Amino acid sequence: MKRIITYGTFDTFHWGHMELLRRAREMGDWLAVGLSTDEFNTIKGKRAYLPYKRRLEILQAIKYVDLVFAENDWGQKRDDIIKYNIDTLVMGDDWQGHFDTLADVCSVVYLTRTKDISSTLIKHTLEKQ
């Protein structure tokens, strides 16, 4: 069984998120998602539109996702990869090169983002209303 992992905030869930999860799941038999907690987002200088609990519920309802767990800090990825016996880490290509240091414990793949949609775009649109 090939095991895949990805991480993110998954705020204002949209088609691009669904595509990333679908494409990641197609790369293997099992997909885990590390979901950034509200506290971790604060450390990253981000503020999620939806609280962690709501984002967790959305991800748990997605048919491509087998496990969702809290991402609390930058350094936990290596431990998670080992803990869950991961074969491939999948991230959006805006993170290109950032996680190459994990290539000693799994494959690292950066997927192209879905064009013309992002949480930032949605947030800016909502702020204008």
The pLDDT tens digits for 86-107 are 999 999 988 999 999 999 999 9
For range 43-65, the mean pLDDT: 94
Give the CATH number of the domain where residue 85 resides. Answer: 3.40.50.620
Interatomic CA distance for residues 109 and 89, integer angstroms: 6
Active-site entry in 2, 46, 115, 123: 46
- Is 44 labeled as catalytic in the residue annotation? yes
Range of the domain at 49: 3-128
Q: Does residue 115 have an active-site annotation? A: no
Considering 2, 44, 83, 128, which one is annotated as catalytic?
44
pTM to 2 decimal places:
0.88
Asked whether 49 and 72 are in contact (CB, 8 A), the reply is no
Number of separate domains in the chain:
1
What's CA 22's distance to the chain center, in Å?
Answer: 12
pLDDT (0 to 100) of residue 118 = 56
d(C-alpha 28, C-alpha 23), whole Å: 9
**What is the reported pLDDT for 108?**
98
